[in-house]
Amino acid sequence: MSRDHKRVLVTLPHELWIMGAQSLEIERSVAVKAERPSVSEAPGDGQLWLGGHHLFRGNLYATTSAKVGSKLGGFVDRVCVVRPGLVCGVGSSGEILWSAESETVTHRRKVSERRVTGLVATPRGRAIWSDGSQDAWVIDPDHPSGYMRLRLKTTSPVEVAREGVAALHVTTAGRCVLAARDGAVAWTNPGLRLEAERFLAKPGAAGRAVPLSLAGDARWIYVLRPRGLLQRFLIAQPPIPEDADEPPPPLPEAQECRLRWPASCIALQSPPYAAEDVLATTLIIGGPQADGMLGRLWRQPIDALEWKPLALGERAITEALPPEAPRAVSFVPTRSKLKGPEVEPLSALKVDDVLKASGPLHITQARGSLLERPVARKPATEVMPGDAVLLPAMVRAREGTARPAMLLWPGVPEGDAEPPEPQWLVWGDRPRGWMSVRTPSIRKQGWSRTDLFPWQVALARKPALAGSRVELPEKWFDKSLFDALKRECKHLLKVLW
């Protein structure tokens, strides 16, 4: 939400939408270079700071942004305005404080490669960030040489992945909220003293309790979890009216409900220029549709949700991890070596070879520029768990044209890394060739995302491969539809190769 609560700022891959809070209609669209941009509004003049690969300056009332600074890559994956004229950036390479007046870095700390899970600014001019560990860290611009640590009181003395802080938020009343992967939620007072913490009695299976987004006002903290599950935790009971004959029944400590659609982010909508203690009555919720290729945004009255009691419990403390048994280094290969005269770049694949949909599979690697990755052919029985596979497909865009496509099905990731999402490629027209279904490539073709999505997908086959890969929807596998779309594409000659 913007500072005056009149607009909603929505970050999308390579794009920022500025929407009216009441109508949820797009007022302005700002093209950005970052695939996962972050945005923060400065107080007073509607100035916007955009983070990602670099730092950009924009405005609520403009459709362009300008790059500022140099050598900030890796330090501004996420940004927030800490004080007027002072921007904090946190990224995979470290943290910085950037002075907007002198356009210089006033503080920089370099670290080894890491991921950042949250960055927020407090009303008292400090920044709080987290990297997925059990701690969150406070940067005070007046004393940047040392960071203050925030963590839940009930935390294991050893590093436990499920206790890592996965999301941060600052409520309208200035409280800082920390949410962990195991479902735990804690909040501080405006002075960053820990006030309370809550733990779920039944966190569920791994990943089910991960916080996707947070919101909060003076009374409730809202936590969005996977599969459209929304929970809220009571900060304090409402005051008893002076003219009440008897006190009202107390509110429950925790509640939950199911949203009508899957969601990935939430924000509280308050009246414009409302005071800090005014309670929000409406949630603005965003989520995916069309297999995640498009988004959906809707307003939801909080009182209209069907709230149910949520059982709370205690966190199980891990005193010490069992020592790992010594084991020999494994030299068993997990991915194929793509070398030799038969290997070619992905961009050189011929459409007719892909659409044969029989015989050996096309395999490639998981890293590198997508269209330059080496591709080789192997039988399904020889594909290794770490190999990424290109599955032949046909798609019909929303505007009606059927065209060849490929689905990059990633292999099993190394160690504890998150499995990458499958990627789509389609055959483009201008220029003619394979293209990734990403916003910059779509723009280059002269299309819009609503020209393509929602689309109809048909994969030719689902091979049995080694390794536990990301599950693909069964509805995508339809050999008869694949053949029909292929015949239609060749007959109409709308798509040439």
Largest Cα separation within the chain, whole Å, is 88
Q: C-alpha angle with apex 161: 157 to 167, nearest 5 degrees?
A: 105
Q: Does residue 327 belong to any structural domain of this protein?
A: no
Q: What's the pLDDT score for residue 242? A: 79
My answer on whether 282 and 422 are in the same domain is no
The residue whose two tokens read 């389609």 is 426
Last-in-domain residue among 291, 313, 335: 313
Question: What's the token pair of residue 422?
Answer: 């499958």
DSSP H or E stretch at residue 312? strand 312-313
In 118-232, where does DSSP find H-type helix?
A: none
Region 358-380: mean pLDDT is 90
Q: Which amino acid is at 395?
A: V
Neighbouring CB atoms inside 10 A of 55's CB total: 22
The residue whose two tokens read 């330059």 is 372
My answer on whether 307 and 409 are in the same domain is no
My answer on whether 238 and 119 are in the same domain is yes
Q: What's the pLDDT score for residue 205? A: 66
My answer on whether 355 and 298 are in the same domain is no
Q: Does residue 287 belong to any structural domain of this protein?
A: yes
The residue whose two tokens read 């501080």 is 188
Region 201-217: mean pLDDT is 87
Q: For residues 39 and 308, is the Cβ–Cβ distance under 8 A?
A: no
Question: What's the token pair of residue 115?
Answer: 């991921």
My answer on whether 35 and 166 are in the same domain is yes
Where residue 84 falls among pLDDT bands split at 50, 70, 90?
Answer: very high
Q: Does residue 120 belong to any structural domain of this protein?
A: yes
Q: Measured between alpha carbons, how far apart are the two ends of the chain, in Å?
A: 46
My answer on whether 120 and 242 are in the same domain is yes
My answer on whether 189 and 283 are in the same domain is yes
My answer on whether 175 and 308 are in the same domain is yes
My answer on whether 132 and 254 are in the same domain is yes
Please give the mean pLDDT across all residues of the chain.
92
Contacts of 318 (CB under 8 A, 6+ apart): 156, 158, 160
Which residue in 469, 446, 455, 338 sits closest to 391, CA to CA? Answer: 469
User: What confidence tens digit (pLDDT) does each residue in 280-305 have?
Assistant: 889 999 999 998 899 999 999 999 99
My answer on whether 83 and 173 are in the same domain is yes
Q: Does residue 2 belong to any structural domain of this protein?
A: no
Report pTM.
0.91
Q: Does residue 258 belong to any structural domain of this protein?
A: yes
Q: Does residue 198 belong to any structural domain of this protein?
A: yes
Owning domain of residue 44: 7-313
Q: Does residue 81 belong to any structural domain of this protein?
A: yes
> b/e string for 452-486 if b means 16 or more Cβ within 10 A?
bbebebbbbeeeebbeebeeeeeebbbeebbeebb
User: What confidence tens digit (pLDDT) does each residue in 226-263 have?
Assistant: 999 999 999 999 888 877 778 888 999 999 999 999 99
Q: Does residue 331 belong to any structural domain of this protein?
A: no
Last-in-domain residue among 297, 313, 329: 313
Q: Which amino acid is at 191?
A: G
Domain harbouring 51, CATH code: 2.130.10.10
My answer on whether 290 and 353 are in the same domain is no
Helices (H), strands (E): how many in the chain? 4, 36
Task: Enter the DSSP assignment of 303.
Answer: G
User: What confidence tens digit (pLDDT) does each residue in 412-442 have?
Assistant: 887 667 778 899 999 999 889 999 999 999 9
My answer on whether 359 and 266 are in the same domain is no
Last-in-domain residue among 313, 336, 363: 313
As for how many domains the chain has, the answer is 2
